[in-house]
Amino acid sequence: MALISDTTTPSLPAPRGGRFTPMLAFLVAVALVCVAAFVLSYRYFQSEEFSKAQGRLSLYQSTVVAELERFSHLTFVLSQDPFVRDVAAGGSTDALNQRLAEFADRAGIDAIYLMDRSGQTISASNAGTPTTFLGQNYGFRPYFQDALNGTQGRFYGIGATTGLPGYFIADAVRDDTGAVRAVIALKIDLSKLAEAWRSSGEAVFLSNRDGVVILASDPAWQYRVMQALPPDQRASIDAARQFRGQPLDPLDWVASGGALARLDGQEWLHLQSGDLPHDWALHFLTSTEPARARAWLVTASLALLGGASFIAMQIMRSRRMGVALRKSEQEEAALRAANDRLAVEIEERRAAERQLHHAQGELERTSRLAALGQLAASVTHELGQPIAAMRNQVAAAEIGQKVESPFAAKIGGLVDRMEGITRQLKFFARSETEPFRRFDLRDAVQAAITLLAPNVEHGPVTLRFEAPAEAVEMRGVQLRIEQVLTNLLRNAIDAAEGADRTDVTVTLGATEGTGWINVHDTGPGFGDLTLEDLQEPFFTTRESGRGMGLGLAISASIVKDHGGRMTAQSTQDAGTTFRLEFPLTPDLSA
């Protein structure tokens, strides 16, 4: 039905594509949240690592300080020892060597040794060993100089004799007058500290004032400098033979700002403690990897959560769309049903209009026929008398004449025609209802044919009648039906007369309670006119005097009185067929 318009398109969510959709916005938001989460959590975990590292650093610092201070008083105590003072005053060294060896052994000190004022070692705990200090001169060492000058000397360096690194502490040995007679020194091995750092798996190193790494958990860092040394600084280090034989190459070290630094290409969280003797600095390095890994974990969890919510949103969205689609389908179906109902109603109204129109036409026709009836009654009444008088006059004139007058015959003919006209008009003026009787339609057709036989006999037309063997009985006024058939036959014969083929065929039959008669002629037909037009009273195409145009009007009226139907079909090639249909009597005994 064309009434359904495009406005029934379902009201689905707006189409997407090429626009900044909520979905895209959501994804961008998730991405931003993930970036923020990474940055914040990385900072957080880094600060956690930082405070952990601070704890470790202060622990290491205290162990370093403890290690350095452990024997800080021993040199002073030894400088007061009578054996030491005796040797310093020039006594025999044998007993002292033994004594120092025992001290060193008990305290776990590398070496204890006594130097004279020139720096020459005169007694040593390692006397008799291949790398004994005895006889060696350490006058160039800063710790010796300091002690000689009356202050405690301290120094870290690679042993000039052993080649092993150590921490040196020295104090002056004075005589009773307070004059410095000798210097007593000891050497502590700090490498155990570095070993402890290494075994803990942590990255720690200790640098001196010059930035030289003097102890490190990674041996590769030891004796490297944090920044390249200026030449004069390098010269003074060489003069003290502090790092004899070491090239002191710079470390691959970059402080990247804040607490971060790069060492050997790796990024480290770097903490430094400067609260150590000799301006030493203890460095604690911890990898940024764990903090980064944990930040990634947090970010991945968030991204996972975002992804899960995205999928959930998609599922919900498709469900919502499904519901909307179903709803719109239902609405469309309801609309279609309403449209169909409307179409039916419109069709019913059109049919009613057609019926009304037809009824109006019928009414007009009926009123015209009623007017015609009145006219016909007065005309037939008024003309009846003069026509009768004329017939009498003609008859009287004929009787009085011996020779037959052609004039009287002509007048007689005219009177006959006038009577014929008034007879036809009388049909419209009739008021009585004639009684219906049962009759055979075959008889009615036959009677009409017989009546018209004189017209056919001398003309070119061939008239055929095809009828069933059994009777086709209906109830009605046989004479009236004959009148209808006479009209139709006369019209058919007239139409066929001028044509090439001059056949008129009457066929009679009965189908499902209806009796029908077809009157077919091979005439030219009635063109574009309709049966309605033809059966208008006084419609005729004949020349004046040949027809009055009342035949079909009368016939239609009779057919209607019998509850029948008259139809007509006309084509130029196939001729014209008038068809009559009458309801057959169901109870023939009635």
> How many Å apart are CA 141 and CA 243, to the nearest integer?
12
> How many Å apart are CA 183 and CA 170, to the nearest integer?
7
DSSP one-letter string for 200-244: HT-EEEEE-TTSBEEEESSGGGTT-BSSPPPHHHHHHHHHTTTTT
Nearer to ligand ADP, 190 or 492 (CB): 492
Name which of 229, 224, 191, 203 is nearest 108 in CA terms: 191
Smallest distance from ligand ADP to CB 524, Å: 7
Structure tokens given for 264: 């050997």
Smallest distance from ligand ADP to CB 542, Å: 5
> How many Å apart are CA 31 and CA 164, to the nearest integer?
57
Nearer to ligand ADP, 463 or 550 (CB): 550
User: Is 175:182 a contact under the CB 8 Å cutoff?
Assistant: no
Nearer to ligand ADP, 549 or 583 (CB): 549
Nearer to ligand ADP, 340 or 416 (CB): 416
Nearer to ligand ADP, 95 or 479 (CB): 479
Binding residues for ligand ADP (CB under 6 A): 487, 491-492, 495, 521, 523, 525-526, 534, 539-542, 547-553, 576
Nearer to ligand ADP, 210 or 494 (CB): 494
Structure tokens given for 583: 């309801």
Instruction: Give the burial class of 456: count Cβ atoms within 10 A of its Cβ; 0-12 exposed, 13-18 middle, 19 or more buried.
Output: middle
Smallest distance from ligand ADP to CB 386, Å: 24
Nearer to ligand ADP, 285 or 552 (CB): 552
Smallest distance from ligand ADP to CB 421, Å: 11
Structure tokens given for 170: 């020295």
CA distances 153 to 71, 150, 562, 564, Å, are 13, 9, 155, 151
- Strand 213-216's sheet: what is its strand order? 213-216, 203-207, 281-287, 266-273, 260-263, 253-255
Smallest distance from ligand ADP to CB 488, Å: 7
Smallest distance from ligand ADP to CB 585, Å: 28
Structure tokens given for 534: 């033809």
Nearer to ligand ADP, 204 or 550 (CB): 550
Smallest distance from ligand ADP to CB 550, Å: 6
Name which of 378, 423, 435 is nearest 561 in CA terms: 435
Name which of 377, 380, 398 is nearest 388 in CA terms: 380
Structure tokens given for 126: 């390692």
DSSP state of 19: S
DSSP one-letter string for 155-168: EEEE-TTT--EEEE
Smallest distance from ligand ADP to CB 549, Å: 4
Nearer to ligand ADP, 206 or 492 (CB): 492
Smallest distance from ligand ADP to CB 525, Å: 6
